[in-house]
Amino acid sequence: MIKTTTTAAFLASIIVSIPISAIAGGGHDDKHWGYEGHSGPERWADISKEFKLCDSGKEQSPINISGAKTSNLPAIQFDYKPGNLEILNNGHTIQVNRAEGSSITIGGEKYELLQFHFHTPSEDTVDGKAFPMEMHLVHKNAKGELAVVGVFSRVGDKNAVLDKAWEHMPHKAGGKKLIASVNINAVDLLPADRSYYSFKGSLTTPPCSEGVKWMVMKNPIEASGRQIKHFTQVIGNNARPVQPVHARTVSMM
């Protein structure tokens, strides 16, 4: 689980307003963190006191999804709209920002889509298996609660939506492009079967704030090996290792 400017300390309460810069995959902070060496995930909590939950939290993401219990989960109602491509490289991921108007509704609660971004390999795993890539669609409701939809990618046919986005991918950190001539709709990056796993979690990047509703699609989409390799060549591996589940229950449709 989402890095454009300063990472704000995200309160693990579910009624605060959350700045987009601090949301799962986003949070390019002056307190440098990364995915390897002295700034890697094992050291995040040492970098800043604001990142202490990265080590002490009990509902951290990502997780290994195993032993999920079948539950009467509500279907996710996707209401995504097409929009111009705004794509950025924040040094930690490739992120696509979305204008207002796209949303999901789950259990009667509406969450606006803010952005989606990618991790290679996947951050969440299923029965110990990682996928080549995972997309996180980051949403927020009127009360400041976050909901992230995770979508795995397996190697297969070239993905037409990614093809449009990757053509304009900024190769340098800090690069950002608004391509008015390119129209994309995030709904085209979802699997046809939208059954999912559900669990409580956190941001997968510092400050690792908790109180995030996670819904990970059970079925992957396809992307070509070349598309996944292109992302990795630009960003590198950007997956936080799986975290202990502790007392959490993982439910599934």
Give the percent of the chain with pLDDT over 90: 88
Instruction: Look up the CATH superfamily of 20-252.
Output: Alpha carbonic anhydrase (3.10.200.10)
User: Comparing 25 with 236, which gets the higher pLDDT?
Assistant: 236
User: Is 92 designated active site?
Assistant: yes
Pairing label, strands 125-126, 77-79: unpaired
Here the tokens at position 137 are 């669609």
For residue 162, pLDDT over 80 is answered with yes
The whole-model pTM stands at: 0.89
Lowest mean pLDDT among 6-10, 124-128, 161-165, 191-195: 6-10
Of residues 76 and 1, which shows the higher confidence score?
Answer: 76
Task: For residues 241 and 122, give the distance between their C-alpha atoms in angstroms, rounded to a whole number.
Answer: 9
Q: Which of 13-27, 89-103, 182-196, 208-222 has the lowest mean pLDDT?
A: 13-27
Please state, for a pLDDT cut of 70, what percent of the chain lies above it: 88
CA distances from 25 to 21, 49, 52, 69, 175 (A): 9, 19, 17, 28, 16
Q: What is the pLDDT of residues 208-248, one digit of tens each?
A: 999 999 999 999 999 999 999 999 999 999 999 999 999 99
- Among 28, 92, 117, 119, the one annotated catalytic: 92
